[in-house]
Structure 1
Amino acid sequence: MTNPLLAEWQTLFEIAPFDRIKDEDFAPALEEALAAHRAEIAAIAENSEPPNFANVIEALEGAGKALDRVLGVFFTVAGADSNPAREGLQRDFSPKLAAHFSEISANKALFARVAAVWEAREQLDLTDEQSRVLMLTHRGFVRSGAALSGDDEARMKEIKGRLAALGTQFTQNLLADEREWFMELSDSDLDGLPGFVVDAARAAGAEKGAKGPVVTLSRSLIAPFLQFSPRRDLRERAYRAWVARGANGGETDNREIAAEILRLREERARLLGYRSFAEYKLETEMAREPGRVRELLMQVWHPARARAESDAEVLTRMMHADGINGDLEPWDWRYYAEKRRKAEHDLDEAALKPYLQLDRMIEAAFACAHRLFGLAFRPLDVPLYHPDCRAWEVTRNGDHLAVFIGDYYARGSKRSGAWCSAMRSQARFPRVQTPVVINVCNFAKGDPALLSYDDARTLFHEFGHALHQMLSDVTYESISGTSVARDFVELPSQLYEHWLEVPEVLAEFATHAETGAPMPQAMLDKVLGAANFDMGFQTVEYVASALVDLDFHDGTAPADPMAAQAETLAALGMPRAITMRHATPHFAHVFAGDGYSSGYYSYMWSEVMDADAFAAFNEAGGAFDPDRAQALERHILSTGGSREAQDLYLAFRGRMPGVEALLKGRGLIAA
């Protein structure tokens, strides 16, 4: 029988036929797709015709489509619905893929043809988009080591293969720690917990096969447990397990893996002539060099730390008033911050959550996209990779634009966090293809599923990434959608979060799960008034993580990353009751792959722009101003990486923003 991963997909919108794909199909499909791609590359490299844009650059753009399809399916299920077979395949695939792409970048004949087109670029009469693709292709080869030779070339290939294997192992170790640990709760342990936390704990217990409710290391469950449980001993036990992920000793310990990854990254950068991995990595970003990143982070660190220290004093007094002496600990912060929020803003999250139903928040995200960009969403009944997934056709004026898939619930087979990916990206070459885009989240399951305000913000954030993919309108897939500078890619997602805070959006879609009544105006006012509550804590835990990441990569790689982490935090004067959002052994953004390595700062870099970009709407006709929405789509959401990120933002806004907009937006300085 034909392998379903390799056959033409005669399905609605050419969605992967998940009902026919089995785990045993992946390995043979990968081998065949790799062989096909090797043959395509050889044909390009060995072409006897003089090199030109069509027979080199466009030929590369059209190559590897079978491989893209196989990997698009595999990495979707490996991240969102893993099992032992898929974990084993991932360990096998990672070094194979690294070796495959290393062979391409080290192909001297191919690079010679790319370089020849690059040298002749002024005589080729290329479009702006073609010129951009040529530059990015040539630069990518050079940065991959195509100009290396001899021992340096061989060593670069070894490094890439080893890094791929280590990144996979880091991810699987983290997933194993998150999957294996849970804390059983007795009925008395549930005292003081709101109903939605109890329901989530019971559902988690049923999934784990436990006798009763449990707390797991899923953020959607452990965070509200730390926020609401009056049992300090249980909070401490849960918190220590949460921050110990990847650092428990044994086979799943990530500390030595992190150290080796940092050493290999530094060696890779130096082979290419860079002083450090940070210098290498930031060369292609908006920031350009480590000094600019550090300057931004420190501008934010000082007011954030001052706010956090002031808040810590208040929370400590509250704890002492409860008869608990000593210092405020990390497992105390969320609990007393919630009590303070309820006292100062009269905002009770347990009362708020019934108004934030998952289905209604999905409707809200869709409705905003309709008002801003004219998009419509029609549910699709198609086989997907897990029963929890759902799909929609995305249209505009009746024309098909994309397929959107939502996978929202936490489960043991899914890695933690939330992300957006494209199983297929938009392009018009070598043929028109529309995107298939997936949002993956980890919300607690319920009937109905209820979200925290942070959960709802996450949903809007990931949908902002999805819009970047769905509204893409470029010719070449290599610059489609989110194929932009890492410190620009978070702009559309973080900007879209602002529409959750628009009063008319909450007024329409924040309706009570039982009564259907809209959120009372008084509660709505409190939600919006408390938007910056505890922002010192949130900013400190993030900026500390970003600075540790930068320090890891800006200079000689540390022999002991844990000691280096401690040194950075000590030099910053890290508040004792706050820890990094992602400590080294579970810092998947940085160590599961190169994506955010030396780049975790990019969320904040993008936030400087998103605060300013939303202000552009308010300065015009309001949150749904049609001219600003059209400009956002034309200059940012549809353009992918077809121009430099700074040029795209300048085209939308007319100027670059300063850090003041971010500080005001976070309430860290007076508005």
Structure 2
Amino acid sequence: AEKLRQIRANFDDAAIKPYLSLDHMIDAAFDCATRLFGVSFTERKDIPVWHPDVRVWEVRDRAGRHKALFYGDYFARPSKRSGAWMTSLRDQQKLDGDIAPLVINVCNFSKGADGEPSLLSPDDARTLFHEFGHGLHGMLSDVTYPSLSGTSVFTDFVELPSQLYEHWQEQPQVLRQFARHYQTGEPLPDDLLKRFIAARKFNQGFATVEFVASALIDLEFHTQPAAASRDVRAFERAELEKIGMPAEISLRHRPQQFGHIFSGDHYASGYYSYMWSEVMDADAFGAFEEAGNIFDPAVARRLHDDIYASGGSRDPEDAYVAFRGREPEPDALLRRRGLLETPEAA
């Protein structure tokens, strides 16, 4: 697939990597938050941290009031669990006074050589924005009870603020400002920028079918009687035949090792929720596209009040409808993946 992408999309991740330094992408994530929500970030060197690599920023609101502390633990090291995630040392709440949150983003990027910056792949840069979207969900929380604070929401809804924030990382006006060559300072060339954006839609038909098949298998395991799946291989074959699974696309997750199916109530029959989150984030970003401004103040205010600040204090559907004016539309995901013509293209 990667070789085919290089041929058809004429794009190789290595070509853009010199333009995606970690510090510049952190600045980009902060700048987008400032323009959307009016928060500012000031690095603090006087706050204790658990490792010398960890950085801390004080977050203030539009009026200059203390809002949160944000910790960034970005580099891989032997003592650290792999992956990327957001967590908190303290959640926002008002039950015991006005308590500001202490929010952490953890990643596992490679450090640059001595004196050189850490350079990110496009996936790494997207991960940074994703986890920062979770971080904003925690930092912008404005609720009374700690049990409803920040990311204390349903599984599909918790991925909306994070996946939505990824959209800004790939916007031309953001990349033109912050994607600069780490040696020369030159901005990302327009030709490379266009190829980078076009490559994001490569192979999405394959990826969509691959995911949907796994989600449908997961749901079928939990909606049919237990006796129906005693022979797991036969059950899998029958279900794939029923949905007309193309022979060329094998399941990414086979039932015998698919942890989401039986690892507990949190995941059981819920694999579809990841794609439903993508529907919501694509549809939500559409509000900015329709406004003709990816930082539209009115849309950003609704996004802040109805999504990022409300935590689990509102029903997710009510919160989304309050923001968007309607329920999310699946066509938004198909357009984002290049599987449906845009009105302009049609």
Q: State if a TM-score over 0.5 links the two structures.
A: yes
CA distance in 1, matches of 2:73, 2:238: 39
Q: Residue 364 of structure 1: SS of its match in structure 2? A: helix
Question: Cα 1:593–1:366, aligned 2, differ >3 Å: closer, same or farther?
Answer: farther
Offset of residue 594 of structure 1: 4.0
CA distance, structure 1, for counterparts of residue 215 and residue 179 of structure 2:
34
Select the residue among 33, 37, 41 that pairs with 1:369: 33
The one-letter amino acid of 1:384's match is V
In structure 2, the residue matched to 1:615 is 286
Letter of the 2:307 counterpart: I
Offset of residue 669 of structure 1 = 2.0
Distance 1:430 1:540, change over 3 A: same
* Change in 2 beyond 3 A, CA 1:441/1:612: same
**Counterpart selection for 2:299 from 622, 628, 635:** 628
| Residues 129 and 162 in structure 2, CA contact (< 8 A), matched pair in contact too | yes
- What does residue 310 of structure 2 align with? 639
Choose the corresponding residue for 2:147, options 478, 482, 489.
Answer: 478
Shift of the 509–594 alpha-carbon distance from structure 1 to 2, 3 Å rule, reads farther
SS of residue in 2 equivalent to 1:417 = coil
Local SS of the residue matching 1:538:
helix
- Which of residues 178, 181, 188 in structure 2 aligns to 1:509? 178
Aligned counterpart in structure 1 of residue 50 of structure 2, from 365, 379, 385: 385
Quote the residue 1:435 is aligned against. Answer: 101
Query: 1:548 is paired with a residue of what secondary structure?
Result: helix
1:565 to 1:612, Cα distance in 2 relative to 1, 3 A: same
- Cα deviation, residue 592, structure 1: 5.6
The one-letter code of the counterpart of 2:201 is N
Instruction: Within 5 Å, give how 1:467-546 maps onto structure 2.
Output: 467-546=136-215
Distance 1:413 1:545, change over 3 A: farther
Structure 1 residue runs of 4+, over 6 Å off? Answer: none
- Paired with 1:340 and 1:598, the residues of 2 have a C-alpha distance of 33
Structure with the larger helix share: 1
Counterpart residue number, 1:602: 273
2:74 is matched with which residue?
408
Contact 1:491 1:607 in 2 (8 A): yes
Q: Output the amino acid matched with 1:426.
A: Q
Cα–Cα, structure 1 residues 555 and 373, in superposed 2: closer, same or farther, change >3 Å? same
1:417 matches 2:86: no
How far the C-alpha of 1:401 sits from its partner, in A, is: 1.0
TM-aligned CA distance change 1:376 to 1:474, over 3 Å: same
Structure 2 distance, partners of 1:536, 1:369, is: 32
> 1:579-598 alignment to 2 at 5 Å?
579-583=250-254, 587=258, 594-598=265-269
Q: Percent identity?
A: 58
Aligned mates of 1:547, 1:342 — CA distance in 2: 31
Matched residues in 2 for 1:648 and 1:358: separation? Answer: 33
Once residues 375 and 586 of structure 1 are traced to their aligned partners in structure 2, the CA distance between those partners, rounded to angstroms, is 43
CA contact (8 A) 2:32 2:168 kept: yes
Deviations 1:83-121 (A, max 9, x none): xxxxxxxxxxxxxxxxxxxxxxxxxxxxxxxxxxxxxxx
Equivalent position of 2:218 in the other structure: 549
Q: Deviations over 1:256-306 (max 9, x none)?
A: xxxxxxxxxxxxxxxxxxxxxxxxxxxxxxxxxxxxxxxxxxxxxxxxxxx
Q: What secondary structure, in the 3-state scheme, does the structure 2 residue paired with 1:439 have?
A: strand
Whole-Å separation in 2 of the counterparts to 1:640 and 1:550 = 28
Is the partner of 1:475 in helix, strand or coil? Answer: coil
For residue 400 of structure 1, what is the amino acid of its counterpart? H
Give me the TM-score of the superposition, normalised by structure 1: 0.47
Aligned residues of 1:617 and 1:628 also touching (Cα < 8 A) = yes
The 3 A distance-change label for structure 1 pair 545 and 370 is same
- Matches of 2:17 and 2:174, distance apart in 1: 16
**C-alpha displacement at 1:531, in angstroms?**
2.1
Deviation per CA, 1:330-352: give whole Å up to 9, x if none: xxxxxxx3333223332222111
Query: Any conservation in 1 of the 2:29–2:129 contact (CA below 8 Å)?
Result: yes
Shift in alpha-carbon separation, 1:579–1:418, aligned structure 2, 3 A:
farther
Amino acid at match of 1:374: G
Following TM superposition, by how much is the alpha carbon of 1:563 offset from its aligned partner in structure 2, in angstroms? 6.4
Counterpart pick for 2:59 among 375, 394, 402: 394
Letter in 2 for 1:608: V
Aligned residues: 335
- 5+ long unaligned stretches in structure 1: 1-336
Cα distance in 2, alignment partners of residues 467 and 455 from structure 1: 18
- Letter paired with 1:622: N
Indicate how the Cα distance of structure 1 residues 422 and 365 shifts in structure 2: closer, same or farther if over 3 A, else same.
same
* 1:341 and 2:5 correspond: yes
CA distance in 2, matches of 1:590, 1:386: 37
Q: What secondary structure is seen at the aligned counterpart in 2 of 1:465? A: helix
Q: Is the 8 A contact 1:552 1:561 kept in 2?
A: no
> If you compute each CA radius of gyration, which structure gives the higher value, 1 or 2?
1
Compute the displacement of 1:667 (Å): 0.9
Q: Are the equivalent residues in 2 in contact too, given 1:511–1:519 (CA < 8 A)?
A: yes
Matched position secondary structure for 1:391: strand
Give, as a single letter, the amino acid of the residue that structure 2 aligns with 1:402: A
Following TM superposition, by how much is the alpha carbon of 1:361 offset from its aligned partner in structure 2, in angstroms?
Answer: 1.2
- Specify the alignment match of 1:351 in structure 2: 15
Residue matched to 1:73: none
TM-score with structure 2 length normalisation? 0.87
Cα offset for 1:579? Answer: 4.6
8 Å CA contact 2:9, 2:202 repeated in 1 = no
RMSD: 2.5
| Structure 2 equivalent of residue 216 of structure 1 | none
Residues in 1 aligned to 2:235 and 2:73: alpha-carbon distance in whole angstroms:
37
